[in-house]
Structures are given as C-alpha cells and as structure tokens.
Amino acid sequence: MSSNNSKFPTMRGGAMNTMFIGLIVVILVLASLYYVYSWLYAASTTTVTPILTGSPSMTSANSDKSSGLGAVSAVELTGINDAGQYSTSFWVYVADTKGFLGPGGSTQLAHLMEISNNRFSKSAPGNTLIYVGLNPVNASLVVRQSTMDPKEQINNSLTAVNGESYPLSSLIDNYNSGTTFSTNDRCDIVNGIEFQRWVLITVVGNSRTLDVYIDGKLARSCVYKSGFSLGSKSGAGTAYFGLNNNGNLKGYFASGNFYNYALTPDAVWKIYQNGPAGPFNAWNWLSSIFSVNANLNNSTLNELNPCTACDQQNK
C-alpha cells in the first residue's frame, strides 16, 4: 500500500513539469508570432532607403558619358505617395563654392539634393518633388517642393518659366539673374549654412506641411495649399546628389537616407547625434581598416580632413 502511495507525488510532479514546459512553449510560440507579425507589418508600411552610403563622397563627380549627367549619387526610390509622408536627410561639408561665381547674375545654384520623377526623360519628364540647393552668393538654402496645386509645381515638362511654374533647370540656372523665383519660396533658409564644417540637412513632408531641419533642429515649417506631389502613379522617383555641379562645389556628402514616413523631431535629433558616419557598426569599422576611399585623395581637396570635420560637427 505504501509502495503504491509513493508513486503519486512522482506522477503529480511529472504532470506539473509537463504543464509548465507546455506553458513555456506556448509563450515562446506566441512571442515569436508577435515579433514576426510586427516585423512583417513594419516592413510593409515603413521603409528606409540608403541613398548615400559608405565613406564620405566628394561633392564633385565625373560626367557619365552614357547619360551626360554628373552626379555624386543617383538612386531609384519607391513608395512616394502624393499627399502622404516622406523624409530625407543627408550630411554635407562645403569647403568652397568659388567656382560658381560669375559676372552679374550668372551665378548658378549649387545642387545638393533632389527627388524627381523622370526629370531627364525626353518624352514625359515629371515633377521634382523636393529640391535643396545652395546659393553660392550668400550660402542660403533654396528649398522647393511641388504640390498638387499647378501653381506650386516644379514642372520639368516646361522648357522655361511659365507664369508661376518653371522647370528645375530654370530655377538652378537663373535664380540669381533677376528673374523672379519667389513663388513657392516659403521654405528657403535665408540664413543659410556654415562652410567648412559638417551640416545635417533634413526635410520632412507630411501632406500639406514641410519641415526643414538644420543640425537636428527645426529651422523652417511651411504649410502649402495642397499636399505634396511627385506626380508618379507608381510612386517611383530618383534621388540625386550633387548633380551637374561641374566640379564647382568643393566638399563632401555623407549618410543620406530616404524614409517613406515623416520623421519625428526626436528621430531627426538622433540622426544628428549619430554624426556623419552614422551609428557605430563594427563590420563597417573593420572593413574601413582594409579599404581606402580613392576619392579622398583628390588633389583639389588634399587639404581637407573630413575626420577632423566630423569631430567638430557637435560643437
């Protein structure tokens, strides 16, 4: 009798152990499903597209013979829905812009960044969603965004200024010529940026609003009559950096990204805190030990030390 009773605690303990293990398995399965769902859901709604990666890239670029374009970087983008949300951020180090200066009003704008819809298409060029340029005359930033309102569009199907609309090429070539480009200038940064140090430029579009951040801080907030518009039915466009500056813009670009959502002020500040090199990555650090960026050895900029500039960006 006693021998039979001695079995009950063992059986009871075994059942409890089995139940406990089963509970742990259920929790782990539910947790795994939750994280998989969260990852899939996030991946389908929010994306970050690197548009300028690796070591700092020189702001001058050789012209591509096949297209005739000279860009530091050109990256295809998707997921740009009109009147939705988008953001883009990049670091720039401007050493000098003397090569742009010309007699009278012939000084062209220095091209920093743009996102356009088939701007160079011969058959059906589209709008420029966002353009960020630098005026070599006074270092001001020219920030222009297209909207659904025809009077607030950078319409690249035009060949010249037409009323309040104009192609991006006219804005760049004639901004300082006396021709009026004051339409849609509400987000220009008149105070400009400093030269010879790293500067973070971030633009955040959210339907009818556009926020411009300099070094992680809000510099300008603008409200338009209608939502922003790339004018692409597929939501596809191209991001260009340092396009057709013909070697006149001396300096570097670094860490450019496109987001198909609106960055929060805290997120913009975090990007600034990370600096031009971005967040620390052990693999990139190890890779950099065994690689050399030939661009940094260019004789026209051999006096510039980007690493020293990186140390100065948070001062």
pLDDT above 60 (res 278):
yes
**Topology adopted by domain 46-312:** Jelly Rolls (2.60.120)
Distance CA 52, CA 209 (A): 25
Buried b or exposed e, range 168-197, using 16+ CB within 10 angstroms = bbbbbebbbeeeebeebebbbbeebbeeee
Tell me the one-letter amino acid at 85. Q
Average pLDDT, the chain: 81
pLDDT above 50 (res 247):
yes
User: Rounded to two decimals, what is the model's pTM?
Assistant: 0.75
pLDDT above 70 (res 62):
no
Q: Which two tokens stand for residue 270?
A: 């975090």
Distance CA 245, CA 96 (A): 13
Confidence (pLDDT) at 277? 83
Q: What residues does each domain of the chain span?
A: 2-43, 46-312
CA angle 189, 79, 32 (to 5 degrees): 115
Residues 6 or more apart whose Cβ sits within 8 Å of residue 255: 52, 53, 89, 90, 91, 271, 274, 276, 277, 278
Model pLDDT for residues 102-127, shown as the tens digit of each residue? 887 789 999 999 999 999 988 888 89
Residues 6 or more apart whose Cβ sits within 8 Å of residue 211: 203, 204, 218, 220, 221, 222
* 8 A C-beta contact, residue 51 and residue 239: yes
pLDDT above 90 (res 300):
no
